[in-house]
Amino acid sequence: MTERGIDESKRATLKRFAALGATTPLVRLSADDGDSDVRDAIVGYLATTPGAHFSKLRDDLQLGTGETQHHLRRLERDGAVEHRKDGEYKRYFPADRFSEFEQRALGYLRRETPRKMVLALLAAPDASGADIADAAGVSRSTVSKYAAELDEAGLLSREDGYEIRRPETLLTLVVRYADSFGEEAMAFAGDADDLVRYDP
């Protein structure tokens, strides 16, 4: 792709997400330097992809590293965006929108194997370790490793098999942001009505 093509692609991407971000009043607090479209795009992107880590945000919006750092610092200073450390990652969220539990959950849902494990357990709460391994396409030892992490993070209980904690919250996050998690989550979301039972 030519440099002109790259620039046009970047502009189109920023414009698409800026339309979402422009509806957030906090973004306009720092709109005095001619870069408000980039910040609007970041806020719009995070509204649809909460919990994205720095590199994903930068790459999806086709921004430079320094450019991304500059705008995220400005947005955090203005109270529009916040971040959470997740191991070696910094994950970004619209400010004051998600609880600590939801932020942890979104961080794990953005990781392929934990997400597949959560989807497997939401679909079949009685799934065994072998069932989860088959559904996620990983080994039993990998399931055990991530189950320990999910347990420590408060998303999973291993007291009696594997049990999702706060399944309604996780189900809501998966369905609401399914398109940002990929095809498997979108397919899951399409069948989510079958997982919700009304029991008065």
Query: Per-residue confidence at 198, pLDDT binned at 50, 70, 90?
Result: very low
| Mean pLDDT across 168-174 | 94
Tens of pLDDT, residues 49-85 = 999 999 999 999 999 999 999 999 999 999 999 999 9
Distances (CA, A) of 69 to 39, 76, 171: 11, 11, 32
Query: Per-residue confidence at 26, pLDDT binned at 50, 70, 90?
Result: very low
Tens of pLDDT, residues 125-134 = 999 999 999 9
Which domains does the chain carry? 3-97 (1.10.10.10), 102-195 (1.10.10.10)
Query: Per-residue confidence at 148, pLDDT binned at 50, 70, 90?
Result: very high
Top-confidence residue, 86 or 109:
109
The pLDDT of residue 30 is 46
Average pLDDT, the chain: 85
E strands in the chain? 52-53, 81-86, 89-94, 156-157, 163-164
Tens of pLDDT, residues 104-132 = 999 999 999 999 999 999 999 999 999 99
Residues in a beta bridge with 91:
53, 84
Q: Are 77 and 45 in contact (CB under 8 A)?
A: no
